[in-house]
Structures are given as structure tokens and as C-alpha cells.
Amino acid sequence: MTREFSYTAVFEPAEEGGYVVYFPAIPNLATQGETLEEARAMAADCLKGYLRVLAESGEVPPSEARGTPISERVRVELETA
């Protein structure tokens, strides 16, 4: 029996190059990749491994019930001395 899961992943450019990937619904679960394509593959592998461990231990996967995160830039202006 196969069950499909879907979680939002955030891909942030890393200072040293590549991308850091994290899942807002799953604290402390993160991975990275040198390219966006590699980061996507690493994210899928990381998520699959995490969910497999939960299933083996009988735990319930976390929910994204809070909804899809919104990502946007916030601009502010500061007066300089």
C-alpha cells in the first residue's frame, strides 16, 4: 500500500553557494544541495526518510493544517546618522 504526502519546502540560497532547504511544518528538518535540482532531490530524500522513521515508530506525521506559508520580502527604511 502506498500513501502520498506533500509538505511545503522552502529553498533559500546559501551564503557559500547552493541552497538550504527546510520544511516549515516540521521543525529541525533541513537539508541542502549545490544546485536547485540537487536541493529538490535532497529535500525529497530527507522528507521520505523522516516520514519512514515516523511510520516505523508508529507516530503520526505532522500536519500542515495551519495552511501554506506566505513568503514575501518586507522593506523598511532607516534614517542614518
Q: pLDDT for 1-35, tens place per residue? A: 888 888 989 999 999 999 999 998 899 999 999 99
Domain containing 43: what range? 10-56
Calpha distance 11→20 (Å, rounded): 6
Identify which of 60, 73, 71 has the alpha carbon closest to the alpha carbon of residue 8: 71
The reply to whether 52 falls in a domain is yes
Tens of pLDDT, residues 37-67:
999 999 999 999 999 999 999 988 887 656 6
The reply to whether 5 falls in a domain is no
Total tally of structural domains belonging to the chain: 1
- pTM score, whole prediction: 0.78
Cα-Cα end-to-end distance for the chain: 65
- Computed on alpha carbons and rounded to an integer, the radius of gyration of the chain in Å comes to 16
C-alpha dist (Å) from residue 40 to 11, 17, 30, 37, 45: 8, 15, 12, 5, 9
